[in-house]
Amino acid sequence: MEPVTQNPFDSLGSSPLFNMAVMLDILFLLLLGIYVAYSAILVYHWKAYGIKSSLANLTLIIYFVSTIPLIILMGVIALTN
């Protein structure tokens, strides 16, 4: 009797263990956690050790303006797929 050979990648994406939508959710939550922790550390450092408050505020505004839309975009993609 011929052994049954099956390409393990055939079921990729449909298996409950490797569901792409779940993977995106997990990746998004992981990155969101890292982002929140990193942002808190960044804000603390600039508020505690910065010299000019105007430059500290400018840095933080640029940081949040450039990263929050990307986080929202990732969240929308992860939660709608």
Indicate whether 31 belongs to the interface with another protein (CB under 8 A): yes
Number of residues that make up the chain: 81
Candidate residues 36, 41, 58, 61; the one interacting with another protein per rule CB under 8 A: 41
Candidate residues 11, 15, 57, 81; the one interacting with another protein per rule CB under 8 A: 81
Contact 81, 21 (CB under 8 A): yes
Angstrom distance (rounded) from CA 19 to CA 8: 14
Angstrom distance (rounded) from CA 35 to CA 61: 15
What's the count of helices (H) and strands (E) in the chain, helices before strands? 2, 0
Candidate residues 20, 22, 36, 58; the one interacting with another protein per rule CB under 8 A: 20
- State the nearest-atom distance from the C-beta of 59 to another protein, in Å: 7
Residues forming contacts to another protein in the complex (CB under 8 A) are: 20, 24, 27-28, 31, 35, 38, 41-42, 45-51, 53, 55-56, 59, 63, 66-67, 70-71, 73-74, 77-78, 81
